[in-house]
């Protein structure tokens, strides 16, 4: 068996399915949009807004502010990446339409651009955590992480080996991602 991993923004993976490019995918969409597909929740990706200590001192000495984000350069995955827009809406309570940005369409390239002082950005906490602990990055908005729900979309009745691949993907995702506390547990 051979696999091809197709990378796209999590908000746009449904298009790959519609074109027939993939047999299963992770998405932010909670409902399947294709007949005979299911969307199973696998957890939440926690993103932290980070920069190098030097970049933070130069551009956000007073903390992450709206005037600061209008002047400092953000590092985004690609033009479809709406994470910053969502983060700004939650953090500032307003839509921030125009802010300087660079695009690095690879998770590794995006992180390296931040580490190279080209800007600040939203990075999965599993990547950012060790770099924050090691002093290479700082969290610009501690306690204001962006939580993104993810769902594994796959065929309802999958033939082998697709069923095994789906099970492995969901198991790994649930182990790696933040699992929300059930409502019943929060109420007690």
Give yes or no for a contact between 145 and 46, defined as CB atoms under 8 angstroms apart. Answer: yes
Give CA angle at 177 (165, 90), nearest 5°: 130
Taking 60 as the threshold, does the pLDDT of residue 170 lie above it? yes
pTM summary value: 0.85
Q: What is the pLDDT of residues 40-82, one digit of tens each?
A: 999 999 999 999 999 999 999 999 999 999 999 999 999 988 9
d(CA 146, CA 124): 9
- Name the nearest CA neighbour of 169 among 19, 12, 3, 15: 3
User: Domain coordinates of the chain in residue numbers?
Assistant: 13-45+149-178, 46-146
Q: What is the pLDDT of residues 81-118, one digit of tens each?
A: 899 999 999 999 988 888 999 999 999 999 999 999 99
46-146 topology per CATH: D-Maltodextrin-Binding Protein; domain 2 (3.40.190)
Give, as one character, the DSSP assignment of residue 96: -
């Amino acid at each position: 068996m051979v696999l091809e991993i197709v990378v796209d923004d999590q908000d746009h993976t449904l298009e790959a399915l519609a074109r027939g490019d993939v047999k299963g995918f992770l998405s932010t969409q909670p409902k399947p949009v294709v007949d005979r597909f299911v969307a199973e929740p696998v957890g939440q990706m926690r993103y932290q807004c980070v920069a190098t200590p030097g970049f933070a001192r130069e551009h956000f000495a007073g903390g992450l502010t709206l005037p600061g984000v209008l002047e400092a350069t953000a590092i985004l995955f690609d033009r479809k990446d709406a994470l910053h827009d969502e983060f700004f809406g939650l953090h500032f309570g307003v839509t921030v339409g125009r802010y300087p940005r660079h695009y690095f369409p690879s998770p590794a390239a995006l992180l390296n651009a931040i580490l190279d002082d080209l800007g600040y950005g939203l990075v999965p906490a599993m990547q950012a955590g060790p770099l924050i602990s090691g002093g290479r990055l700082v969290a610009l908005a501690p306690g204001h992480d962006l939580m993104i729900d993810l769902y594994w979309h796959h065929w309802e009745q999958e033939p082998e080996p697709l069923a095994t691949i789906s099970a492995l993907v969901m198991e790994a995702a649930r182990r790696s991602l933040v699992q929300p506390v059930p409502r019943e547990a929060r109420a007690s």
